[in-house]
Amino acid sequence: MNTKRKTETVWDVIVIGGGPAGMMAAGRAAERGKSVILLEKNPTLGRKLLITGGGRCNLTNNKPDTRTMLSHYTGSDQFLFSAFAQFTVQDTIAFFNDRGMKTKEEAEGRMFPVSDKAQAVLDVLTRYIKEGGVQVQTSAVVADIAVDVKTKHIRVRLDDATEIVGRSCVVATGGVSRPETGSTGDGFAWLKKLGHTVADTNSSLVPVALKDAWAKKLSGVTLSDIKLTVFQNGKKQGMKKGKVLFTHFGISGPTVLNMSKLIGELIPQGDVGIMLDLFPKIEHDALKKKLQALLIGDSNKKIKNTLDALVPSALVLPLLALAWIDGETANHSVKKEERAKLLLLLKAVPLHVQGLLGADKAIVSSGGVALTEVNFKTMESRVVKNIYIVGDALNIDRPSGGYSLQICWTTGFVAGSHC
């Protein structure tokens, strides 16, 4: 009796990971007429995308040109030029605007949907892959990736032993931050097995826990346009200006997140301190005159009811306590040495680092596949032909402010254009 062997379906492209980079790659490949299957371990796509930017989704940063944009990717800019030449920040903004999602620019070039909803970004990507005919398979947990020696096809084995076969495969599995969203570093094990070098992964943009009990009581208070300086053993280690948010565990916000990698590197070497300059644009003498004028202006008023003209009201009593000044003291009774101490605090609020929060609170992670092992003109692996690596799976340090998602859009688009 003659039996016919069942024909095996071979996809043009298998994309592993339904995050921003994976969806962009899948949509772009399908746009080129490729047959594409997108595998996502979660029950739904874009789970991590929905929590970015506090649920608002800071989708990119509107820098004036590519060179300026790439200067924010320390040590990676020389690799990224060829990718960004194909899909720029302006291409990203146009991609979403042209598909009905209007964007707006906020402080420091941060771009958001006008709706302030990350769901709007996900909706655009979902429509993009649907229009291209991408087959989406959710709850698909990948166990392994292998290259068929005979056909050179990529064979992706799921945890239920199902095999998906493709002519190429895009690995868009992300890093290790926020593991509850599916970013558990799965792809690194497969890529190592295939011969790739993977730098150790750690939390990169992560909030800072403080020892200071008074600071933890300020949860929700935001300080804008301040200068944050990191110290160790009395020596300045780094400085950034911007916004700081107090939380129930310490501090967060863009400025803190962008200093967290440095803080994490310093912690094993000893105690780490932080100083907040609440008035970085005002010199010491000018601030002294401003404080004196405030106290003289209503000399009988209690100082606790006066300082809120300078700082957020929630910060008044903690600052007075640090200066050892009774809040009930009338302005005219504040001693010269007390004013001097208060003035010093306004320029240098001391904070003491307890540690960094874990990967479950990190915005992105550091580490990943070595950039020398990827061709950034195509995002194809230099180690294994027909494997493409995108997004947070790459070892690219990037600050908070839309830079991480731009890597996803650019590398995803480039991979989808060549796979």
- Which of these, 259, 243, 242, lies nearest to 207 by C-alpha position? 259
69-82: burial string, b at 16+ Cβ within 10 Å, e else:
bbebbeebbebbee
- Which of these, 99, 127, 122, 129, lies nearest to 34 by C-alpha position? 129
pLDDT band at 400 (very low <50, low <70, confident <90, very high): confident
Q: How many residues in the chain?
A: 419
Ramachandran assignment for 309, one of left (phi > 0), alpha (psi -120 to 50 degrees), beta (any other): alpha
In the predicted structure, residue 308 carries a pLDDT above the cut 70 = yes
Contacts for 80 with CB less than 8 Å, ≥ 6 apart = 70, 73, 376, 396, 407, 410
Burial of 12 (0-12, 13-18, 19+ CB in 10 A): middle
Which structure tokens are listed for 354?
A: 């307890």
Which structure tokens are listed for 96?
A: 């979403």
CATH for the stretch 284-350? 1.10.8
pLDDT band at 52 (very low <50, low <70, confident <90, very high): confident
Half-sphere exposure of 216 (CA within 13 A, CB side): 12
pLDDT score at 229 = 97
Looking at per-residue pLDDT, the higher value among 136 and 258 belongs to 136
Q: The pTM is what? A: 0.76
Mean pLDDT of the chain, nearest integer: 89
Question: 208-278+353-359: what fold?
Answer: Elongation Factor Tu (Ef-tu); domain 3 (2.40.30)
Q: What is the DSSP string of 9-53?
A: PEEEEEEE--SHHHHHHHHHHHHTT--EEEE-SSSSS-TTGGGGG
For residue 173, the 8-state DSSP code is -
Domain ranges of the chain: 10-203+364-417, 208-278+353-359, 284-350
Distance in angstroms between the alpha carbons of the first and the last residue of the chain: 41
CATH for the stretch 10-203+364-417? 3.50.50.60
Which structure tokens are listed for 7?
A: 């024909």
For 193, other C-beta atoms within 10 Å of its C-beta total 11
